[in-house]
Amino acid sequence: MRSIAIVLLGLAVAVLLVACRGGGEPAPQMQSAPGQVQIVTITAWAGGNPQTERGRIGMLEKAAERLNAQLEREGSNVRVRVEGILDTSGDMARKFVLAAQAGQAPDIVNSSHADIAAWAQAGFIVPLDQYIAKYRDSTDLKDIIPNLWEPMRFRGATWAVPQDTEARPLYFSKPLLRRLGWSESDIGALPDRIRNGQFTLYDMLRVAKEAQDRGVVRPGYGYWTRPVFGDNYWGGDFYQFYVAFGGSLWDPQSGRLTVDREALRKFFQFHHDAIFGYGVTARTVIGGTEWKQWHETVSRGDQVLFWNGGVWQWAEWAQGYLGGDEGRLWDNVGFALIPAGEPGRRPTTLSHPLAYMVTSEKASGRRNQELAFRLIALATSPDLNSEYAVQSKHLAILRTQLNDPTYTRDRFLAATSYMVEHAFFLPNNPDYGRFDATLGRVLLALAAGQLNVDQAVERAIADLQSAVPELVVR
């Protein structure tokens, strides 16, 4: 009797499982309802902050309504339904690769443009040129800011549609500058001085040191970089300083990654000076600080004098850490480009667009590519994108957005949009990930005091050459 009970229980569990195995099976292509309409489910993945960046999925959902209206007008009996997931773990890229290899990727994936190279090479995403040509004129795709198509290209084809873009400013604390003796007009003029190349990185270090020496800030709180803890290193923000000294990460013509020895040396020297020479950057920032701690400290606006972050963090601070009080941010925090490394160079900032990609049949097991593309094209409209941009403090991707009142009314976006003119993009090269990880290890070792600047330069070049066979060293 008992054994029968056990067998029944086992069967019940098995049935439950088959029902539960949601992610394991590709969603049914079509469910024919009584009548004529066929519903196609389009799955989409994006990563981001659930408070501010929900729109990455939301835009697709709203676009589905518009697409269905279009399909109806065309007399088609197909309708779409979006099943989107906003991944908050930070591991979306890895999940995507593992899923794609197993043939279970979603139809649409939203990720960094820097992922295009590896994913295209592995055959996980499809080139979009034919779809763009077909739908360009009938949608807002024609209004995408032209230079934003550059980071979407790899080996002569276009692989993604820009979804948002940003800039990464140098933030500074107004109350602390005031305490240092700066006048309101000094503070107001700082962003312009940086923009004209009159205030360099070392000027910043000097001001930070002065603030520390005079007790205006605690030691180590003069200048904060992006936080690194254990394994969450991502080099983009740091390499702004390499570019600020005239370095470049790749040669877009040949597609090969490059490293400039002199700029690399100055890049390492700058960070070494910040941590050890001037002592304005606490060692634990690069190596022992988690995001939450970092956000909490800098968003208060009166703890750290200078720090570099991203424009979208303005939204995160306002909504997540200051309870919706954006006014406090305006009172306490100022922003500017990343200053030039030395006199005679230009200020800079990194712009890191995220993009929608369409997955291949090999990766998703489905054949919804064209429908998925149409969805993306309709999601790329001025009203939808502006709403998202204002909510998350990302910058415009369409020329027509610059006339959209929703967008232009936003004070912060208006004040930061000039930065895109000075921006550079990360390489589209499948080895860039390894390049980043390798260079990052050396930087972390330098920051931990395990290498001096000369050693760091030699180590970096040697390691990079072995990690990236086609590297160009200049």
Partner 1 sequence: MGLRPSRGVRLVASGALLLITAPLLALYAWLPIAAFAERTVGLRPEGFTLEHWRRLLEPLGGETLLGALARSLVLSSLYCLLLLAAVVPAAYALSRLSLPGRRALLVLFLLLHAFPTLSLLVGVYQVLRWFGLYDSLLGVALIKAASEVSLGVWVLKGFFDRIPWEMEAAALVDGGSRWLAFRRICLPLARPGLLAVGAFGFLSGWNEFLLPYLFLPSSSQWTLPVYVRALIADFRFVDYGVVAAASLIYTAPPLALFALGQRYLLRVYSLGGRVQAQ
Partner 2 sequence: MIEGMIEAWTRLVAAAPRPAALGRRWLGPLMCIPALALVTAFLVAPAALTLHISMTDMSLSTLGSVQWVGLENYRRLLSRPELPKIALNTLLFVGVNLVIFNLFLPLAVATLTAAWEERLGRLVRPLWLLPRVTPSVVYALLWVWLTAPAPYGTLNQLLAPLGVGGGSWLLSYPWPVVIVADGLVGTSFATILFSAAIRAVPRELWLAAAADGASYWQTFRYVVLPLLRWPIMFVATYQGLSLLASFEFVLLLTNGGPGLWQTEVWSLYAYHQAFSYYTGGLQMGYGAAIASLLVGFGAVASLVALRLFRFAELTAEPRLRAV
Is 436 among the residues that bind partner 2 (CB under 8 A)? yes
Burial of 187 (0-12, 13-18, 19+ CB in 10 A): middle
- Give the separation between CA 453 and CA 446, rounded to whole angstroms: 7
Closest separation in Å from C-beta 44 to partner 1:
12
Answer yes or no: are the C-beta atoms of 140 and 384 closer than 8 Å.
no
The rounded distance, in Å, linking the Cα atoms of 379 and 444 is: 40
Among 88, 147, 183, 452, binds partner 1 (CB under 8 A): 88
Nearer to partner 1, 86 or 371 (CB): 86
* Residue closest to 238 by CA, chosen among 288, 168, 293: 168
Applying CB under 8 A, does 121 fall inside the site for partner 2?
yes
Nearer to partner 1 (CB atom), residue 20 or residue 73: 20
Inter-helix orientation angle 453-467/432-447, to 10°: 160
Interaction pattern, residues 399-418, with partner 2; x per rule: CB under 8 A: --------------------
Binding at 31: pick from partner 2, partner 1, none (beta carbon under 5-8 Å per type):
none
Evaluated on CA atoms 170, 175, 179, 185, the torsion sign reads positive
Residue with Cβ nearer partner 2 (252 or 288) = 288
Candidates 44-52, 183-191, 431-439, 447-455; binding stretch for partner 1 (CB under 8 A): 44-52
Q: Length of the chain, please? A: 474
**What are the residues facing 83 on neighbouring strands?**
43
- The least distance separating partner 2 from the CB of residue 433, rounded to whole angstroms, comes to 4
Phi, psi of 29 (to 5 degrees): -60, -50
Q: Which residues, including other chains, have CB under 8 Å from residue 119's CB and lie 6 or more apart?
A: 96, 97, 100, 125, 159, 357
Contact letters for partner 2, residues 206-235 (x by CB under 8 A): -----------------------xxxxxx-
Nearest approach in angstroms of CB 111 to partner 1 is: 14
The reply to whether 448 sits near partner 2 by the rule CB under 8 A is yes
Q: Whole-number minimum distance, CB 356 to partner 2, in Å?
A: 19
Residue 335 in 3-state DSSP? strand
How many residues sit close enough to partner 1 to count as binding (CB under 8 A)? 32
Spell out the alpha helix ranges (H) of 317-368. 326-332, 361-364
Q: Give the nearest distance from C-beta 101 to partner 1 in angstroms.
A: 7
Q: Nearest Cα to 326, choosing from 248, 231, 412?
A: 412
Interface positions, 288-327, toward partner 2 (CB under 8 A): 288
CA dist 195 and 230 (Å) reads 34
Question: Which residues, in sequence order, are CB contacts of 65 under 8 Å at separation 6+?
Answer: none
- Any contact of residue 229 with partner 1 (CB under 8 A)? no
Quick one: which segment of 5-13, 129-137, 408-416, 462-470 binds partner 1 (CB under 8 A)? 5-13
Task: Check residue 22 for interaction with partner 1 (CB under 8 A).
Answer: yes
> Could you say which of partner 2, partner 1, none residue 123 binds, taking C-beta under 5 to 8 angstroms by partner kind?
partner 2
Q: Minimum Å distance from CB 242 to partner 1?
A: 29
CA–CA dist 379, 267 (Å, integer): 40
Residues that bind partner 1 (CB under 8 A): 3, 9-10, 13, 16-17, 20-24, 49-51, 85-91, 95, 98-99, 101-102, 104, 292, 296, 316, 320-321
Residues that bind partner 2 (CB under 8 A): 91, 93-94, 97, 101, 118, 121-124, 229-234, 284, 287-288, 430-431, 433-434, 436-437, 440-441, 444-445, 448, 450
